[in-house]
């Protein structure tokens, strides 16, 4: 009886994660299709394009890498750019780490791989709302798996059908929608709003930096502003 309830609870948590992640997938799928198209246009092969989605599994860094590849940027710049863009995942991991302390190394490694913007957005919200976290990692797994499958499939669609899509379709419009959908629910304090505004304005002012380094510089400025605000808040 106890085992049956445990299996039922595990399945429910997994499916709940899939359910909560699904609304975000409507913006993620066009994002993946656009990536598949732009990566091929940048000169990557079909295999390289798909493998990047499997290995990096990060939309914004994949876009940046493919654009830098198209501009024949040095590999050191490409790797550094991807690393800096994905630094935000360190903040995500620090945020969810207290809820995953009791898990094995294998579970932590799997969930670390699946820790992306969209998966984090629904998972941290779930953890903060629930007082009991026995099945939280399965909720996380459901959200991450749903996102991973949709990202791989949408990349494949972009690779195989991209050139057939009408060029007038405003697919680029879906790119900012994904991040807006993630960002807005997290702006729960004056500090977070200020950091978002600082990073946004900085990205516009630094847009013309060479090697597409504007977003990286803006992200670093936003992070530093967050540290400054947090230090001032804790000051007696």
- CB within 8 A of 179, min separation 6: which ones? 60, 117
Which residues, other chains included, contact 170 with Cβ-Cβ below 8 Å and sequence gap of 6+?
none
Contacts 24+ apart (CB under 8 A), 193-200: 194/225, 194/229, 195/222, 195/225, 195/226, 195/229, 196/222, 198/222, 198/225, 199/225
Residues 7-52 have pLDDT tens digits of 676 788 899 999 999 988 887 888 888 889 888 888 889 999 999 9
Between 98 and 27, the higher pLDDT residue: 98
Q: How many CA atoms lie within 13 A of 26 on its CB side?
A: 6
Counted domains in the chain? 2
CA distance 175 to 56: 18
For residue 142, give its domain range. Answer: 2-169
**Side-chain-facing half-sphere of 59: CA atoms under 13 Å:** 27
Looking at 169, 199, 224, which one is the last position of a domain? 169
Assess whether 33 and 102 both reside in one domain: yes
**Does residue 216 register a pLDDT over 90?**
no
Same-domain pairing of 127 and 193:
no
For residue 220, what pLDDT band results from cuts at 50, 70 and 90? confident
Task: Give me the pLDDT at residue 2, please.
Answer: 52
17 shares its domain with 127: yes
Q: Do 195 and 165 reside in the same domain of the chain?
A: no
- Residue 179 within any structural domain of the chain: no
Q: Which residues contact 213 (CB under 8 A, 6 or more apart)?
A: 81, 206
How confident is the model over 116-157, as pLDDT tens digits?
888 998 999 888 887 776 778 899 999 999 999 999 999 999
pTM for the model stands at 0.74
């Amino acid at each position: 009886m106890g085992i049956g309830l445990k299996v039922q609870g595990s399945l429910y948590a997994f499916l709940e994660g899939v359910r909560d992640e699904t609304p975000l997938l409507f913006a993620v799928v066009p994002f993946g299709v656009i990536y598949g198209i732009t990566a091929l246009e940048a000169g990557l092969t079909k295999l390289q394009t798909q493998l990047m989605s499997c290995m990096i599994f990060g939309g914004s860094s994949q876009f940046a890498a493919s654009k830098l590849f198209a501009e024949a940027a040095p590999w050191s710049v490409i790797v550094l750019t991807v690393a800096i863009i994905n630094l935000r995942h360190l903040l995500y991991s620090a945020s969810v780490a207290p809820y995953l302390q009791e898990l094995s190394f294998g579970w932590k490694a799997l969930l670390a791989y699946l820790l992306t913007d969209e998966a984090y957005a629904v998972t941290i919200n779930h953890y903060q709302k629930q007082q009991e976290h026995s099945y939280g990692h399965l909720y996380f797994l459901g959200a991450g798996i749903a996102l991973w499958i949709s990202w791989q499939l949408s990349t494949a669609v972009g690779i195989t059908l991209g050139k057939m899509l009408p060029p007038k379709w405003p697919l680029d419009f879906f790119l900012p929608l994904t991040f807006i959908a993630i960002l807005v629910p997290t702006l729960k304090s004056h500090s977070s709003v200020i950091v978002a505004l600082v990073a946004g304005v900085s990205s516009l002012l630094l847009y013309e930096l060479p090697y597409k380094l504007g977003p990286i510089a803006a992200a670093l400025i936003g992070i530093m502003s967050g540290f400054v605000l947090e230090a001032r808040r804790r000051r007696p």
